[in-house]
Homo-oligomer: A and B are copies of this chain.
Amino acid sequence: MSAIRLLVLGAVRMHGRAHGYQVRNDLEYWGAHEWSNAKPGSIYHALKQMAKQGLLLAHETAPSTAGGPPRTEYEVTDEGLEEYRALLRDAIRSYDRNMDVLSAAVGFIVDLPREEAVALLKERIEGIREWREAVTEYYTPEEGPESLGHIGEIMNLWVHSADSGAEWTRGLVARIEGGAYTFAGEGDPFVGVLADGEVNPYATGVPDPGDDE
A residues with a Cβ closer than 8 A to B are: 1, 30-31, 35, 90, 93-100, 102-103, 106-107, 109-110, 126-128, 130-131, 133-135, 137-139, 149-151, 153-154, 156-158, 160-161, 163-165, 167-168, 171-172, 175, 180-182, 190, 192, 202, 205-213
Lowest 3 A-B CB distances belong to which pairs? A164-B164, A134-B209, A134-B207
Question: Is the pair B207, A127 in contact by a Cβ cutoff of 8 Å?
Answer: no
Question: Is the pair A212, B93 in contact by a Cβ cutoff of 8 Å?
Answer: yes
Contact for A99 among B161, B181, B211, CB less than 8 A = B161
Q: CA–CA, A137 to B180, complex, Å? A: 23
Q: Note all chain B residues with C-beta closer than 8 A to A127.
A: 209-210, 212
In the complex, the chain B residue whose C-beta lies closest to that of A99 is B97
